[in-house]
Structure 1
Amino acid sequence: MDRTDGSRYRRIVDDLRARIEQGELAPGDRVPSTREITRQWGVAMATATKALTELRRTGLVRAVPGVGTVVAAPETPAAAAAPPASPPPTAVKVAAGPAAAEPRGGRDAALTAERIVAAATAVADTEGLAALSMRRVAAELGVATMSLYRHVTDKDDLLLRMMDAVLARWTFPDERPDGWREPLVLAARMLWEAFRRHPWLAPALSMTRPQVLGSALPFTEWVLGALDGRGLDPWTAFTTHLTLFNYVRGIAVNVEAESTAMADSGLDADEWMATQEPALLALTAGGRFPLLEQHIAGGYDFDLDRLFEFGLHRLLDGIAVLIDGPHTGPAAA
């Protein structure tokens, strides 16, 4: 961290401390996340993380899994006024060494894999996968980083557990809708909703080297069940399942990228496009791209959810040709 970020780090800490002490941020209120701090103060993620860590160290804020970092309740007068305990008369002084790890009877005793996964998911949901680290999760939980390794092997293991946990929330109905199309629509929308709720999930899932996730298997089984008995050979049926999955994932990878871009620029997609419109109009003004110019002039309402739905049904129209055969109605003009 250079001197500029060092001074900004101190200014961030002082500003947030003042807002807390003046009551602008009350106990229980969320404080700005690291992503918000990077946007508001124009600092690197490491600087924002250090600022929040300093506030946690002083007891002004605390991490709440699933919520974020919030203002801590003030100490009770008795606790605040209590003088430090004097050492017993027979205490033997020893040379100072590295700080001992908190005994397992402390916060670490209540640590579980589920709590670690929940805290990690909260970080990734609000700040993106790039902000996730074992040290960051430990800070959110208020425990030593090494204590996490008693419950998860490493960051890769943690990410697998996160993916498994969020996909485990899928609940397919006991009875499958009639036909093949509606079951595929239902599966695709459930997957889209999971990607929307957890923007990091789509980039984390690999298409070419799929992770072994037990909670993802119901999706595959549901889709294959909808296609079973429809006259498709095994390769075509499984490829249809992969095509549907990767269509939804391919649209969803834009969700995290857009969230990051909005945090970095402070502009949503429409506001950003407004800044680009003059340059785009200048490129199309010469008449070389009359159709594009016409659509720009008419305005285009870009919406990822509408794009998803439009593409989903066009994809299913193509699958219908495989299952039901070519359209036998009047030929298109």
Structure 2
Amino acid sequence: MTQITGGVGAPPYLRIVAELRRRIAEGELAPGDRIPSTRRIAEEWGVALATATKALTTLRLEGLVEARPRIGTVVAAPAPASPPSAEPPSPASPSPEPELSLDRIVRTAIGIADSEGLPALSMRGVAARLGVAPMSTYRYVPSKEELVLHMADAAFGEEGYPADAPEDWRARVELGARTMWRLYRRHPWLAQLGSLTRPLFVPRLLDHGEWILGALDGHGLDPTRLFDIHVLIYSHVQGLAVHLEREAHAEAATGQSEDQWMDSRTPDLQALARSGRFPTFAKVVGGFEGGYDLRLDDLFELGLKALLDGLRPLVEGESA
């Protein structure tokens, strides 16, 4: 395949391609090694995410890198040499376009969003991953917006519920909330798609809502109160999950991990604690042994317990 070079004066994406190609050729990046994500490329080269995506797409088309689900983009293994043939090769004929389906398109798009974030997703990028012409995907899904809805529906459908539901409302709600949390953990971009005031209306998300509503139904709650409680539980799960993707964006923008960012703010934190304006804050922060680690999984469990403890008199009292 003819390679595109990126000399002086070349577009930014070609300069990025040339540098990453050099690293691969010289062994700095070996087969299986992760290639910098679009976020990391954007931060390192000071370019837009679209430019970073274009660079990775070019490398994929050259066969130098490949996407692996839940890992990211890695250096591709060298293609095996073709065995010698006694017969002369037949005249070259155009290879057929790989068979497409809506499911393949959606799963490929989910892989991009999982490894590189939703901003890196484009119809052209999905087509490049699939090795088809850019317009081919539009025969199955007319726009990126509709593709994202299909992605959300597929992702929410990865987890279901048992036919023999727990009889206790609290056990059933806990199962529903933890199932949703696992899905957001697996696909952090999901939490960015809908708000409480403008929720997503996709069938497989409603499956999870149906599970929670079914747990609360039959306890004497009027419809408004029942739905309010359902929204509170959902907002706890989604509200924490939003920060999974936000942290990834922040790390790409600053080039610092969460711990590195906090360490860089230590002088500011110490100054606030010594100012005398915030005595309780200073006492609490000073009591941390080895610093405070913000763990979203622990906060999820703590908040779920507190929320359900508080709702128990409301649910069980009104049913009685």
Specify the TM-score bucket, using the shorter chain as the normaliser: 0.7 to 0.9
**C-alpha distance in 2 between matches for 1:216 and 1:183:** 17
Aligned in 2, Cα 1:280/1:74: closer, same or farther, shift over 3 Å? closer
Aligned residues: 306
**C-alpha distance in 2 between matches for 1:4 and 1:123:** 30
> Which one-letter code corresponds to 1:53 in the other structure?
T
**C-alpha distance in 1 between matches for 2:59 and 2:269:** 45
Aligned in 2, Cα 1:126/1:4: closer, same or farther, shift over 3 Å? farther
Structure 1: give runs of 5+ residues left out of the alignment: 88-101, 327-333
Seq. identity, % = 50
- Tell whether the 8 Å contact from 1:199 to 1:256 is kept in structure 2 after alignment: yes
Alignment of 1:204-283 (within 5 A): 204-283=193-272
1:31 to 35, 57, 61: 35
**Displaced runs of 4+ in structure 1, greater than 6 A?**
83-87
Deviation of the 1:64 alpha carbon: 5.3
- Tell whether the 8 Å contact from 2:32 to 2:75 is kept in structure 1 after alignment: yes
1:186 to 151, 172, 175: 175
Aligned in 2, Cα 1:279/1:76: closer, same or farther, shift over 3 Å? closer
Give CA deviations for 1:141-179 in whole Å, capped at 9, x if unaligned: 222221111111211110110000011111212222231
1:106 to 96, 101, 107: 96
**C-alpha distance in 2 between matches for 1:86 and 1:110:** 23
Give CA deviations for 1:99-127 in whole Å, capped at 9, x if unaligned: xxx98x722x4111111111111111122
**C-alpha distance in 2 between matches for 1:86 and 1:224:** 64
Partner of 2:47: 43
| Structure with greater Cα Rg | 1
Aligned in 2, Cα 1:48/1:6: closer, same or farther, shift over 3 Å? farther
Deviation of the 1:286 alpha carbon: 2.4
Deviation of the 1:204 alpha carbon: 0.5
- Tell whether the 8 Å contact from 1:65 to 1:122 is kept in structure 2 after alignment: yes
> Which one-letter code corresponds to 2:64 in the other structure?
L
> Which one-letter code corresponds to 2:147 in the other structure?
L
Give CA deviations for 1:29-77 in whole Å, capped at 9, x if unaligned: 5433322322444433233223223323433334456654343454565
Deviation of the 1:4 alpha carbon: 9.6
1:53 to 57, 60, 79: 57
Aligned in 2, Cα 1:111/1:30: closer, same or farther, shift over 3 Å? farther
Aligned in 2, Cα 1:214/1:86: closer, same or farther, shift over 3 Å? closer
**C-alpha distance in 1 between matches for 2:66 and 2:100:** 16
- Tell whether the 8 Å contact from 2:73 to 2:115 is kept in structure 1 after alignment: no
Deviation of the 1:140 alpha carbon: 1.9
Give CA deviations for 1:267-311 in whole Å, capped at 9, x if unaligned: 222321121121122123121211101112123332111111111
Aligned in 2, Cα 1:52/1:135: closer, same or farther, shift over 3 Å? same
**C-alpha distance in 1 between matches for 2:46 and 2:212:** 46
> Which one-letter code corresponds to 1:33 in the other structure?
S
**C-alpha distance in 1 between matches for 2:32 and 2:260:** 32
Deviation of the 1:189 alpha carbon: 0.8
1:290 and 2:279 correspond: yes
Alignment of 1:11-30 (within 5 A): 11-30=15-34
Deviation of the 1:183 alpha carbon: 0.8
1:122 and 2:111 correspond: yes
Partner of 1:313: 305
> Which one-letter code corresponds to 2:204 in the other structure?
S
Q: Secondary structure at the match of 2:73?
A: strand
- Tell whether the 8 Å contact from 2:50 to 2:120 is kept in structure 1 after alignment: no
Alignment of 1:142-181 (within 5 A): 142-181=131-170
The more displaced of 200-209 and 5-14 is 5-14
Give the TM-score taking structure 2 as reference length. 0.84
Structure 2: give runs of 5+ residues left out of the alignment: 1-6
Give the TM-score taking structure 1 as reference length. 0.81
**C-alpha distance in 2 between matches for 1:308 and 1:5:** 50
Deviation of the 1:207 alpha carbon: 2.2
> Which one-letter code corresponds to 1:322 in the other structure?
L
